[in-house]
Amino acid sequence: MLNERNPIPVLEAIKRVTTYYKKGETEYTAITNAHNRVLAEDLIADHDVPLFDRSPYDGYALRSEDTAEVMEKTPKILEVVGHIGAGSVYHKKIENSQAVRIMTGAPIPDGADAIIMLEDTTAFEEDGKSFVSIKKALQHHQNISFQGEDVTKGTALVKKGTVINPGIIALLATFGYAQVPVSKKPVIGVIATGSELVEVDQPLEPGKIRNSNAYMMIGQLQRAGAIPKYYGSLPDNLAESLKKISKVMQEVDFLITTGGVSVGDFDLLPEIYQELGADVLFNKVAMRPGSVTTVATINDTLLYGLSGNPSACYVGFELFTRPIIDYFLAKETIGMQQEQATLAVDFLKTNPFDRFIRGRYEIKNGLLVTEPAGKDKSNMVHSLAKANCFIQLPGGTEGYKKGDQVTIHLLGE
Ligand SMILES: Nc1nc2c(c(=O)[nH]1)N[C@H]1C(S)=C(S)[C@@H](COP(=O)(O)OP(=O)(O)OC[C@H]3O[C@@H](n4cnc5c(N)ncnc54)[C@H](O)[C@@H]3O)O[C@H]1N2
Ligand code: MOO
Ligand SMILES: [Mg+2]
């Protein structure tokens, strides 16, 4: 007699796993490897940017009052007493009727209060001295890039928990973070189960299929910011599976298996949980696909038993494993972003349970529109390649029509 399984709602299942989350630690990574990592400390400006008033143009630094009487036909002649580029400093003070030739990024010399662009000047030499003819009047503080105008010291720039992007890397570099504090990535074990599986580099034989789930999950783990540790696939053999799974549980933060969680004669995971004394949090979720998704714990370590059907495995991972990885990484946002979108085609099946269709969304004329990414069967793999969201249709509904509003869960960052 089969043991009856009680399906629980998706949100209840997510709640049960999240009570087991572990928060990771902080580690340091070289700034050249910081992209896509999660910042583990708030980034606060410890100095102004720019740190000094500087020139935004190639031109001349001068005293604006010297240009008060400049008119188109009566230019003002100033003596050029210095010449600096970015990285150099003019150490004297600019006096009456003097100018310093200055390049973009160089600090404004003392006494100067404005910059004139090269294009509005003519340089000439006379008696071994340099002069510049100024053709335009300037205002006090005209064309100055001021200290602190970009960032003021003390400003909170990026919150911990933010995923680091190239723009954040620019800030980290600006403030001298050669080593960046980031959340340590969880190490997550992956085991595929099933005597029908051959590895990706092996030829197919009658009755066999290639193991695609393990590699799919390795990609999902990488996308989620975890470190996958692949332990290969196991045949449907109890003794061998028990030995391997108990050993692997010691080496990882969590373990994911795929396959063998349903009620078939060779679905060994239920017996494995029992033999290992695991606490099964749930073994049936009111959803399609992935209804047989099982999550157990052994000594508070999560053991995910995802379905063998590729689409069910994929959905089970994103709904139940990904939020735990987000917690581990102390991310500011947990789980997939949700949006409302317009259905672009009819979807007429009934939905006895919550349905998560592998979908594709795009922005058309400023609106989010979505449609299934392909055939909607849990044992199919093709539609996964195109999917960039799940279309959620609540249980107890039927017959969604083109134009209906639906909730979508976004898969990408
Ligand atoms: N009598 C019932 N049969 C089934 C039920 C049920 O409630 N009663 N549930 C069905 C549902 S729903 C699903 S989903 C599957 C779940 O099956 P398992 O998780 O036990 O997975 P397996 O039996 O091992 O494999 C199912 C299917 O997936 C293929 N598979 C397995 N591993 C991989 C892999 N690594 N890469 C690619 N494909 C894989 C496997 O060959 C099977 O075709 O059970 C239904 N049955
Ligand atoms: O768990 Mo199954 O995926 O509902 O198809
Ligand atoms: Mg099975």
The DSSP annotation for 257-301 comes to: EES--SSSTT--HHHHHHHTT-EEEES-BSEES-TT-EEEEETTE
Structure tokens at 148: 């602190």
Residues with Cβ within 8 Å of residue 25, at least 6 apart in sequence? 183, 184
Could you give the C-alpha distances from 246 to 143, 240, 251, in angstroms and in order?
69, 10, 10
Per-residue tens of pLDDT for the chain, all 413 residues: 457 799 999 999 999 999 988 888 999 999 999 999 999 999 999 999 999 999 999 999 999 999 998 986 789 999 999 999 999 999 999 999 999 999 999 999 999 999 999 999 999 999 999 999 999 999 999 999 999 999 999 999 999 999 999 999 999 999 999 999 999 999 999 999 999 999 999 999 999 999 999 999 999 999 999 999 999 999 999 999 999 999 999 999 999 999 999 999 999 999 999 999 999 999 999 999 999 999 999 998 999 999 999 999 999 999 999 999 999 999 999 999 999 999 999 999 999 999 999 999 999 999 999 999 999 999 999 999 999 999 999 999 988 999 999 999 999 85
Expressed in angstroms and rounded, the spacing between residue 374 Cα and the centre of ligand 1 is 20
CATH number of the domain at 59-134, out of 2.170.190.11, 1.10.150.300, 3.40.50.300, 3.55.50.30? Answer: 2.170.190.11
Superfamily of domain 338-410: MoeA, C-terminal, domain IV (2.40.340.10)
Report strand pairing: 43-44 vs 156-158.
antiparallel
Give which of 168, 133, 125 is closest to 34, Cα–Cα: 168
Rounded-to-integer distance, Cα 362 and Cα 300, Å: 40
Q: What is the pLDDT of residue 24?
A: 85
Residues that place a CB less than 5 A from ion ligand 3: 262, 264, 267
Structure tokens at 335: 């789980």
Characterize 132-157 residue by residue with b for buried, 16 or more Cβ atoms within 10 angstroms of its Cβ, and e for exposed.
bebbbbbeeeebbbebbeebeeeeeb
Task: Region of 96 please: left (phi>0), alpha (psi -120 to 50) or beta.
Answer: beta
The CATH number given to 10-25+184-328 is: 3.40.980.10
The third-level CATH classification (topology) of the domain covering 27-50+149-183 is Molybdopterin biosynthesis moea protein, domain 2 (3.90.105)
**pLDDT tens per residue, range 149-163:** 999 999 999 999 999
Rounded-to-integer distance, Cα 317 and Cα 308, Å: 12
- Residue 197 near ligand 1, beta carbon < 6 Å: yes
How many other C-beta atoms lie within 10 A of the C-beta of residue 18? 15
Grouping H, G, I as helix, E, B as strand and the rest as coil, residue 38 is: strand
Q: What is the pLDDT of residue 412?
A: 87
Q: Which ligand is nearest to the CA of 209?
A: 1
Q: Which ligand is nearest to the CA of 308?
A: 1
Q: Whose alpha carbon is nearest atom 32 of ligand 1?
A: 308
User: Is the ipTM of this structure higher than 0.95?
Assistant: yes
- Domains of the chain by residue range: 10-25+184-328, 27-50+149-183, 59-134, 338-410
Rounded-to-integer distance, Cα 82 and Cα 339, Å: 59
Q: What is the pLDDT of residue 4?
A: 79
Q: What is the pLDDT of residue 1?
A: 45
Please return the burial class of 51, using the count of CB atoms within 10 Å of its CB with bins 0-12, 13-18 and 19+.
Answer: exposed
Q: What is the pLDDT of residue 413?
A: 56
Expressed in angstroms and rounded, the spacing between residue 94 Cα and the centre of ligand 1 is 81
Rounded-to-integer distance, Cα 43 and Cα 150, Å: 15
For the CA of 307, the nearest atom of ligand 2: 1
